[in-house]
Amino acid sequence: MEVISLVEAAVLWLVFMFIGTNLIGLVVRGVVGEGVPSSTEYREPILRKEAAKLERMNLWLTLISALVIVAYIYTLFRAWNAGVAAAALMLMIARIPDLLYEIKTGKKVGPKNMPKGVISILSTLLMLGALPLIWFSIR
């Protein structure tokens, strides 16, 4: 019985990590504005117009993604409990420092180029701490 709940917790942790990473990535990249050209960068009117469209779409995508995060956490809270919702939120918060590092450096975070420091250690502990929280919450 305990082994089954541990496997369930690990699978849920992976699913929450996948969903949370993608959702928080959309919001963080939208807030930072990485990858979206500014409409003031172009002299040609047609390029300026298209860049303005991209800026508006980036704003809408960021807002919709933030609303989906709220709905996601609320749904987890209603479907399971506060512990599961807190674990999903912990996984999203733990991903923010790595996302900011990736945006700043342009390199993916991996075992060879992990950022060093207290924030990185705390985000890793937060990410790993979500697994036992999920396990205790679904038991």
Give me the pLDDT at residue 75, please. 96
In sequence order, which ranges of 33-81 are alpha helices (DSSP H)? 45-79
3-class secondary structure, 112:
coil
136, amino acid identity: F
- Which structure tokens are listed for 118? 């207290």
| CA geometry: angle 130, 135, 139, nearest 5 deg | 150
| Contact status, residue 72 vs residue 23, Cβ threshold 8 Å | yes
- Of residues 99 and 67, the one with the higher pLDDT is 67
* Span 72-93, average pLDDT: 95
pTM for the model stands at 0.82
Question: Taking 70 as the threshold, does the pLDDT of residue 86 lie above it?
Answer: yes
| Contact status, residue 32 vs residue 102, Cβ threshold 8 Å | no
Q: Residue 115: pLDDT band by 50, 70, 90 thresholds?
A: confident
> What value does the mean pLDDT of the chain take?
85
45-79 pLDDT tens trace: 777 777 677 777 888 888 999 999 999 999 999 99
User: Where do the domains of the chain lie?
Assistant: 2-138
Among residues 109, 69, 107, which one has the least CA distance to residue 91? 69
